[in-house]
A and B are shown apart, each in its own frame.
Chain A
Amino acid sequence: MNEKLRLKNVHKSFGAQKVCHGIDLTVNEGETICLIGASGSGKSTLLRCINLLEDIDEGMILLDGADISKPGLDPQPVRQRIGIVFQSFNLFPHMTAVENVMLAPRRVHGLSRAELRPRVETLFERFGLADRMQSYPDQLSGGQQQRVAIVRALAMEPEIMLLDEITSALDPELVGEVLDVLRQLRQQGMTMILATHEMKFAREVADKVCFLDKGVILEEGPAEQIFGAPEKNRTRDFLRRVL
């Protein structure tokens, strides 16, 4: 399998607070990685670092073998290749769903609305949003907003998707529809890293589960191993609390 993304000894702190304390992680092409860990363990921060929304203090992030964390590197081309979906949706409230989705391809790739139309329509249909294209975000349910946010990231045809607890703001009955979307993506071979509290889901889709604790990946491995026979005490404690 091809190595897609590799984190080497990544350190990140906010002021005096150290959030990442030497993170190593390898993600192969088409793999789904689940980050689990207590609240505040740095899952969101790690995803934001990979998307270059935060600069790392030390270490390296390699995308297809090239260092994307080099200081001074233009982050835009990298961000175009790595999509991120935020826990709080962050749709643009002044634009309709379809405008939200078309904005980046129009501005970045210089495509016209007409050129984008067929592809975007297909995406909306695929995610059960065909009749919601002209709605504004505040006219959509939480689950619909979250799916629009996923479509918005996908419209840039990223090579990797980072998904930050994308179901945690949703009612239980909406969680299902968003998780279905992830299953679809996985089947299509998208490389994904997701931070999640949905242990059941992590167990089902993850090729590898990483347990984040105190700024390091304390334990990682196939889902059956992490959930079935965790080696470290802290992992066991954490799982006992959340399961």
Chain B
Amino acid sequence: MLTPRQDYNRRARRRSIFIAAASTAAAISLLLLLIPLSPGWAAVQKSFFNAEIFAKSFPVLLRAFVLDVAIFLWCAPLIALWGLAIALCRDARAPALYPLRLFGALYTDVFRGVPVILIVYLIGFGVPGLGLPRPWNSPYIWGSLALILTYSAYVAEIFRSGIDSVHASQRSAAASLGLSDWHVMRDVVLPQAVRRVAPANMNMLIALQKDVALLSFIGPVEILRQAGVYKSLYANFTPYVAAAVIFLVVTIPATRFADRMLARQQKQRS
């Protein structure tokens, strides 16, 4: 048996779901009606939404996407480690470690100040240009390195904000027990910091997943480059749309997940 309040809430909820569904349906039908009426629609449909070309390119693009995923999978942990190392450098207090601190600051300034694509070009073309022997001339290695270097600068700043957010009383409590600075950091500060910035880092991962496509500019035939090949082959942009769909299938759930994580954390803290 429902109380009057529960009954009222349930009816109110049903009502708002109904209104939301109806207005969404109306908006979508309007778009579907209006867009085909625009003068260039026929041409756009042919060159961007060609079902036949979509069907033909999709499986191959999906296979090329495996390479994106692979690059992502080996870059992500290295970014986390290197980003953390940079964050710790920037946090080093001892005077003897001042060079590390300086390095950390310079590093984050430089790599956050230059567009990713430029770093990809500079390292991806520059280093193999030194005439290194195989496999050290591979664009996979140097392209990945470019991503790792750039992303770890951002991730380092995220970690640092997390480290700063751990209250000083936690540090004194740990120090008062006789723990060394390193153990205070490793056992008390870092675990709390890393947890706190997990949602922000999740967003970096999503951005990275997309930026892997930048490596297409220096050689690896991943999804974006494969789509480019098909575009030229069929003289049609549909492969790009297919590639976008594949990205969205991965990034939308990931984004939702990150948002949920953030919301949960905010709820916990309030």
Contacts and interface: CB of A to CB of B under 8 A. Distances in A.
Interface in B153-198: 169-170, 172-180, 183, 187-188, 191-192, 195
Contacts of A94: 191-192, 195
Contacts of A108: 177-179
A90 B178 contact: no
15 contacts: A48-B172, A76-B178, A83-B176, A86-B172, A90-B172, A90-B173, A91-B173, A92-B187, A93-B192, A94-B191, A94-B195, A103-B174, A108-B177, A108-B179, A152-B177
B180 A88 contact: no
A53 interface: yes
Interface residues of A, number: 24
A107 B173 contact: no
A154 B39 CA distance: 81
A88 B172 CA distance: 12
Given A92-B188, A94-B191, A104 B179 contact: yes
Given A86-B173, A92-B174, 5 more contacts: A79-B175, A94-B192, A94-B195, A152-B177, A156-B177
Contacts, number: 58
A32 interface: no
A90 B169 contact: yes
A90 B177 CA distance: 12
Nearest to A75: B175
The binding surface of chain B is classed by DSSP as helix
A138 to B, nearest CB: 9
B179 A51 contact: no
A79 B176 CA distance: 6
Contacts of A76: 178-180
Contacts of B175: 53, 75, 79
Interface string A182-200: 0000000000000000000
Contacts of A118: none
Contacts of A104: 177-179
A51 B177 contact: no
A77 interface: yes
A90 B179 contact: no
A95 B179 CA distance: 16
Residue of B172, B173, B180, B183 contacting most chain A CB atoms (<10 Å): B173
A91 B170 CA distance: 8
A96 B185 CA distance: 18
A48 B187 CA distance: 22
Contacts of B192: 92-94
Contacts of A53: 172, 175-176
Contacts of A103: 174, 177, 179, 187-188
A91 B192 CA distance: 12
B170 A79 contact: no
A84 B195 CA distance: 27
Contacts of A235: none
Contacts of A77: 178
Contact of A51 (B169, B176, B187): B176
A228 B75 CA distance: 72
Residue of B176, B178, B179, B180 contacting most chain A CB atoms (<10 Å): B176
Interface string B209-232: 000000000000000000000000
